[in-house]
Every structure is written in C-alpha cells, then in structure tokens.
Amino acid sequence: MNERKALDTAKIEQIQRDRKEAHKFFTDKSKVYRIFTELEEKTFQDGSLSKKHKELIAVGISLVNSCESCLEWHIKQALDAGATLEEVIEALEVGLEMGIGPTTVTNRFAMKVLKHYLGDNI
Amino acid sequence: MNERKALDTAKIEQIQRDRKEAHKFFTDKSKVYRIFTELEEKTFQDGSLSKKHKELIAVGISLVNSCESCLEWHIKQALDAGATLEEVIEALEVGLEMGIGPTTVTNRFAMKVLKHYLGDNI
Amino acid sequence: MNERKALDTAKIEQIQRDRKEAHKFFTDKSKVYRIFTELEEKTFQDGSLSKKHKELIAVGISLVNSCESCLEWHIKQALDAGATLEEVIEALEVGLEMGIGPTTVTNRFAMKVLKHYLGDNI
Amino acid sequence: MNERKALDTAKIEQIQRDRKEAHKFFTDKSKVYRIFTELEEKTFQDGSLSKKHKELIAVGISLVNSCESCLEWHIKQALDAGATLEEVIEALEVGLEMGIGPTTVTNRFAMKVLKHYLGDNI
Amino acid sequence: MNERKALDTAKIEQIQRDRKEAHKFFTDKSKVYRIFTELEEKTFQDGSLSKKHKELIAVGISLVNSCESCLEWHIKQALDAGATLEEVIEALEVGLEMGIGPTTVTNRFAMKVLKHYLGDNI
Amino acid sequence: MNERKALDTAKIEQIQRDRKEAHKFFTDKSKVYRIFTELEEKTFQDGSLSKKHKELIAVGISLVNSCESCLEWHIKQALDAGATLEEVIEALEVGLEMGIGPTTVTNRFAMKVLKHYLGDNI
C-alpha cells in the first residue's frame, strides 16, 4: 500500500518536473509556444466566469481528452481557486456523461490527484 | 443574407427534429439508451455546482469534441439556466485553449446558435 | 414528413456517390490508397470471425469515431451479411457504452440508415 | 527478458489495482458513476449478440481509442467468454483497418495482455 | 452531374463565408481568439521550413482530424504557396497511413477541394 | 538529474523493444498487419515530397494524436533523413497550432526524444 502510494506520488512529481523542463525548452526555442503561453494566461483569468469555474470546465475537457497531465494541472488550479472536492467530482461527472468508457479509466488518475492534494482520507 | 440566415435556422431545426426522432427510436429499442437517459438527467441536476455551471462545462467539452448538436443543446440549456452571452463566450475560450485548430471551426456553429437564440445583433 | 424522408435519402445517396467518385480518384492517383483497398478487403473476409461479426465490430467503431459514412457502409455490409436489426442495435449499444456523449448524436444517423435499408416501420 | 516480462506483468497488475480502487472511490462519491455501472452491466449481457461477440466489438473500439486499460479488460472478458486467440487477433485487425497508425502502437499492449493470459508461447 | 458540382461548390463557399463571419464575431468578442489569430499567423510564416511545407503538414493533420474546413483552408494555402497536386496527394497519403478508416472518408472532401481549385480534369 | 535522464532513456528504449517484439508477433499472426507494413513503407518513400518532408508531416500528426511512440519513430526518421532541430521544432509548432492544449503535454516527450538523439545541450 505504501509502495503504491509512493508510485502515485512519483508519477505526479514526474509530470510536474517534465512540465517545467519542457516549458523552459519551448519558451527558449519556439515563438509559437511563447504566444500560446500568453493565450493560456488570458484564458484562465477571472472574467464573467470566475477562474474557479473556468478551471472546472478545463477539468471536464481534460477528462474527455484522456489527458492525465492536464487533469493534474487543472484539478490543482481549481482547488487553489477554491473549488471543493464535491465540485471537482461533479465536473468529472459531466466529463463522464460526455465520453463514458475511456473517461472511467482517466478518472482513476483524477482520484489519485485528488488524494495527492486533499489527503487519502477524502 | 436572408437566405443564409434561413439555411442556418433550417440546420438548427433539423438537429432538433433528428434529436427528438432518434430519442423516441432508441428509447423504444435499447435498454442501454434508457439507462443513459437517466444518467444524463442526474448529471445536469443542480448539485454542488449549479446546472448553469455544469452546462458551461458541457459547452467547453462539446467544442473540443467538434459536436455541433451537443453545442446546440448545451448552449441552449446554459442560456435557459441563466448564462449570459459573455459566460458562454468564456466557456468557448477555455475549449479553444484546449483544442485550438478544429475548435475555431466548430466555434462558427456556436456563433450561429448564439445568434439563433439571442438575436443577430448580439 | 415526406420532405424530411427525402432529405435523409438524399444524404445517404450523396455519401454513396462521393464514396464512389473518391474511390476512383484515389485509386488512380495514390499507390498508398490502392494498398489500403487490399488491406480493407482482407480485413473483412470470413475468418475465425464471420464477416457479419467483423462488420458489427466496425459498426461499433464507426459510432465511436462519429463517422457517418463509415456507419452507412458497415451497417449495410452487416445487414447484407445477415445481421438482424437487434444485432445492429446491440453493436451500437457497445459503442454508446464506450463513448457516450457524441455517440448519441451519431446514433441518429445510424437510425436513418437502418430505416433506409429496413423500412420506416422497423 | 525475465526482467521485461516482470515489468509487463507489473503494469497489468497496476491497471487492475487502479481499476478496483477507483471503482470503490467513485461508487462511493458519484451517483452518475453508479448509474454508469448499471449501464455497463446491461450493455455486455447476452442478448441477440452473445457476450463474446459484444466483448470483441469492445476490443476493436478499445484499440481505436488507444485505451490500454480498456484493452486489458475487454480482451480478458472476451477470453473468459470463450473467444480464441485468432478471434481476438481478427477483432484487432478490424480496429487496425479503421485507425491504422496509432493502433499499431496500442496493439503492442494487446499482445502483452494476450501473452499474460494465454502464455508466452502463443 | 452539373447539379452535384454546384452542390460541392456551394458547400465550399459556405465554409468560406462561415469562416469570415465567425472570424469577425470572435475577433470582436474574445481576446483569447485575438491571440490565437497571432499564433496562427506566426506558425505558418516561412522559417526553417517554408510556408509550403508547413501547410502540407497542416493538410495531413486536417485529414487525421476529419476537419473539412481545415482541409479547405490548408489545401488552398499550400497550392497558393506553390504545392503541386502530387505533393498534396502525398501529404494526404501520410495522413491516411496514420489514421486510415475515417481518413478515407475525409479524403473525399479533399478531392473536391482539389477539383474546385485545380479544375475537374486533374 | 542523472537519474531522471536514465528514466527517460529507459522509456525510449522500452518503446523501441516493444515495437520490435510486437512487429514480430503481428507479422507472424496477422495478414492485415503484413499489408499495413507494405502500406507504411510505400507512404514514406521519396516521391514528389522527399522522405524528410513526409516524416515532418508525420511528426505533426503524431503530436496531434498524442502518440509518444509515433513521435519517437518519426522524429528519429526525420533526423536520419536530414531534418534539423529547427525544422522538427517548426513541425511541432504546426501541430501545436492545430491541437493546442494536449499537444503541449505530448511536446514534453518530443523534447526528450530530441535530447536523446541530439544530446542534452541542444
């Protein structure tokens, strides 16, 4: 059990390191990437919708896209912006409704991210 | 111009008729579809997230999935649940950020749906 | 009603004409396409699985891929190979279970194809 | 060689454990997930199509969806329902015909699952 | 035959009008879209790769994405940048190799675009 | 750092071994796969487009398909056919423009492949 927990943590930390390293690499080498960074920043600013609700939209899309790294990022951003566990679960439910089969697989990683940030006893 | 407007309206109305006819067909013939209907209903009920914010998540996913009929449905549901034009646009922006190229194409239909329900002068 | 039926038939017939015209065009111009034609033929021959069951697999995949033309082709092939309406419906159910949201939309066209080939009163 | 075999087994066993843990988590927390469980169960019951042929449809879809966990599950279910190695291979062939490039990658994991359940000498 | 040709032309012209109308709508309403416009422009400038070869990459991706409007745009851009019919066909072949089934369907529209811009007797 | 580098190398080498093992397995067992092998070979031969530019199209598609193994293969083929780092980066930029969100994740692996073949100091 503890060994599995360590594996899950290692996977999440590897995603975080890879993200950081690639961000530096492409910021240095690609002007298109640099514009994307600005686009991303503007997308998730508070607007008519709050950052929290925008991040929950992104959580639903990440699930449908089977993108584990996106899930790791947007669940964390949603939590930091004040989303509760229940709100994240309901965003995942919308994703499940719209892409059933494969989303139940990607949901497993969403669970791990939630436990990583909110503790195992949620 | 009037002819084009008529074409857009005809397309939206055909989506609505097809949806209704197929709903009747599969409700009659498929027990799996009947369970899906229940699943869909439960997904979009008010919960920790309001129906409005759930529908906006679905708008973002519909865009990334390039699903015009889904867009027609979830934009209408979001508007009926109180979403403003600006909120729908921002949900579409999150979708655009997460699936750029093709989403700019599908966004064209999102615009038509918004004009269909909110008027051409928005 | 008759007008809508005519529209559905026109759409199916356009798919059939486009398929034929493009088949001629790419057979003439692309050696890769010609090899694909052979690959396709070998895939759907009777083997350990009968052609009927292979076509039903293709029906499920077509639904998940939101590919209306593929649905039109593989439903027809499945029917010609002896599949019943009930068997096609169950193949569509597997597709729905594995990719819900958009599949309920694409299912509408599957219904039209079934009515086109089996009559409106199925 | 033995080390690689151990890695493949470890990956398959991790998929199985993750599936079980997430099933418990979402069954507890999500009413939408609970309805999905019922939907899944009904989908794969014997009907006009046998469970075996339904699982083979799911194998083809899993390949096209690049979903390794889905492949692990549905190949096992197909084998348990009486499918032969040759029948699974032919279901994978239909998937390959309908989504070539990426499916040849996911096919590698399908091979590992087959060797895991049928032995290395198949 | 002439009637079908007129239908194909009408479809292509509708794509062009929709693109223009939506571009105006989202440029007006969405800052994220405005940044995307800049990102798009920078992506396709001559660089280490010529605009022609970049557009041919986009043709391959458009095929795999089943995006007809993208195909219409990028085939036209590639032709304008000096690509020959044979080069476009070979870019489509790479797309076909990497996503067979549905790409053979979307290829039909690629053919229509080529005939639209290069004449029916290519 | 050295440990992480070792992990990246191990992942790339595992992809290479899996590819070889599965190639042998399916060549032996599947006639459809054998035809695919021929189709693949013909696709990437020098033609009106050089092998290098065809491989760069495949790099863009691999990114949009989130297919790490495809990226590993086609980046290596492109480099072997004379592509420069800058040309690979620009092919990745086209991919990013056409599938933004998830492509920034898959881009991380593209970076690792480039460092694996061109050295860490690129």
pLDDT tens-place string over residues C63-94: 888 788 888 889 989 999 999 989 999 998 89
Counted across chains C and D, CB pairs separated by less than 8 A come out at 94
C-alpha atoms less than 13 angstroms from C-alpha of C118 in its C-beta half-sphere: 20
Report yes or no: D11 at the C interface, CB cutoff 8 Å: no
Q: Which residues in chain B are closer than 8 Å to A93, comparing Cβ atoms?
A: 43
Confidence of residue A122 (pLDDT cuts 50, 70, 90): confident
> Tokens standing for F72?
């590993």
Contact flag B105-E33 (C-beta cutoff 8 Å): no
How confident is the model over D9-13, as a mean pLDDT?
85
Report yes or no: B105 at the F interface, CB cutoff 8 Å: no
Cα of D74 to nearest chain C Cα, Å: 11
Question: Which residue, among C104, C113, C121, would best test binding to B if mutated, counting the most B CBs under 10 Å from its CB?
Answer: C104
In this complex, the residue of E58, E90, E96 whose CB is nearest that of residue F98 is: E58
Question: Which residue, among D2, D93, D108, would best test binding to F if mutated, counting the most F CBs under 10 Å from its CB?
Answer: D108
**Smallest CA–CA distance from D7 into chain F, residue:** F14
Cα of D59 to nearest chain A Cα, Å: 12
Q: Which residues in chain E are closer than 8 Å to F107, comparing Cβ atoms?
A: none
Surface of C (36-65) touching B: CB under 8 A: none
In this complex, the residue of A7, A89, A101 whose CB is nearest that of residue D29 is: A89
Confidence of residue B108 (pLDDT cuts 50, 70, 90): low
| F18-57 pLDDT per residue, tens | 888 888 888 888 898 899 899 989 999 999 999 999 999 9
Of residues B105 and B78, more confidence is placed in B78
pLDDT at F102 exceeding the cut of 80: no
Counted across chains D and F, CB pairs separated by less than 8 A come out at 44
Confidence of residue A17 (pLDDT cuts 50, 70, 90): confident
At B83 the pLDDT is 92
Q: What is the ipTM of this complex?
A: 0.85
Choose the weakest-confidence range: B26-35, B44-53, F63-72.
Answer: F63-72
Of residues A105 and F9, more confidence is placed in F9
**Smallest CA–CA distance from A97 into chain B, residue:** B40
| Residue A85 amino acid letter | L
The total of other beta-carbon atoms located within 10 Å of residue E109's CB is: 24
Report yes or no: F102 at the B interface, CB cutoff 8 Å: yes
| D95-109 pLDDT per residue, tens | 888 886 567 667 767
Contact flag F102-B99 (C-beta cutoff 8 Å): yes
Contact flag B36-C108 (C-beta cutoff 8 Å): no
Q: Which residues in chain B are closer than 8 Å to C89, comparing Cβ atoms?
A: 29-30
- Give which of C66, E88, F30 is closest to D114, Cα–Cα: F30
Report yes or no: D8 at the F interface, CB cutoff 8 Å: no
Q: Which residues in chain B are closer than 8 Å to D38, comparing Cβ atoms?
A: 35
At A58 the pLDDT is 92
Give how far the C-alpha of residue E53 lies from the chain's centroid of Cα atoms, to the nearest Å: 13
Alpha helices in A30-82 (DSSP H): 31-43, 51-64, 68-80
Tally the residues of chain A: 122
* Residues of chain E under the 70 pLDDT cut: 1, 100-105, 107-108, 112
The total of other beta-carbon atoms located within 10 Å of residue D117's CB is: 16
Contact flag D102-F30 (C-beta cutoff 8 Å): no
Checking phi first, is residue F82 left (phi over 0); if not, alpha (psi -120 to 50) or beta? left
* CATH (residue range C2-118): 1.20.1290.10
At B100 the pLDDT is 55
> Tokens standing for D46?
């014997």
Would you state the torsion angle of the CA atoms of residues D19, D25, D29, D30, taken in this order, to the nearest 10 degrees?
Answer: 0
Contact flag A30-F93 (C-beta cutoff 8 Å): yes
pLDDT at A102 exceeding the cut of 70: no
pLDDT at B14 exceeding the cut of 60: yes
**Residue F112 three-state SS:** helix
pLDDT at B105 exceeding the cut of 70: no
Contact flag B96-E69 (C-beta cutoff 8 Å): no
Evaluate whether D66 touches D100 at the Cβ level (below 8 Å).
Answer: no
SS3 sequence, C44-101? CCCCCCCHHHHHHHHHHHHHHCCCHHHHHHHHHHHHHCCCCHHHHHHHHHHHHHCCHH
At A31 the pLDDT is 92
At E1 the pLDDT is 53
Contact flag E39-A42 (C-beta cutoff 8 Å): no
**Contacts (Cβ under 8 Å, ≥6 apart) of C1:** none
